[in-house]
Amino acid sequence: MGRRWDKAHLIMLGAGLLNVAVLPFWRLPIPKATARAVGYPVFGLGLGLMLLSLFALKEGVSGEIEPVTGLVTGGIYSRLRHPLYLSFAISMLALDLLFASMLGILVTLFAFLPGMVWRARLEEQALARRFGEAWREYARRVPSLLLWDIGRRDE
């Protein structure tokens, strides 16, 4: 079966590619050493969060909105409902900082992040359909993306 590309996924992918394309333009007036001193640790944070997410998900990583395994609530998923998405956002912002790219930061904030939030909400709807009350209880206990719930909670 081929992979279905939902619109939110395409927006995230397109914004990510656009971000990489605009990195060299409209630079922030900061020294390279400062950009690196901030960018590398932020990228390390994003990479670490991604690895924790992948370790917790194991075979549940599919790229599809519909869940392919049981409800994952352990590991980093006991603290955040969407740590993998957050890791993508942190990593993208880290690249923007490494290149000192104001345009990259704007693309991340106004194109990538809205697509990411939209996709997270679509995923949550699919999880609620499949796991019902177990999902709703998990969603009540665990914040969505940035340690607070930026969208409505299924109650």
Give the model's pLDDT for residue 144: 84
DSSP character at residue 62: -
Residue identified by tokens 């590398």 is 40
Assign residue 69 a region (left: φ > 0; alpha: ψ between -120 and 50; beta: otherwise).
beta
Q: Contact 153/135 with Cβ under 8 angstroms?
A: no
CA atoms within 13 A on the CB side of 56: 20
Parts of the chain with a pLDDT under 70: 1-5, 59-64, 146-155
- The pLDDT tens digits of the residues spanning 84-93 come to 999 999 999 9
- Write down the pTM of the prediction: 0.81
Give the model's pLDDT for residue 16: 79
| Angle between helix 7-22 and helix 83-98 axes, rounded to 10 deg | 20
Give the model's pLDDT for residue 3: 46
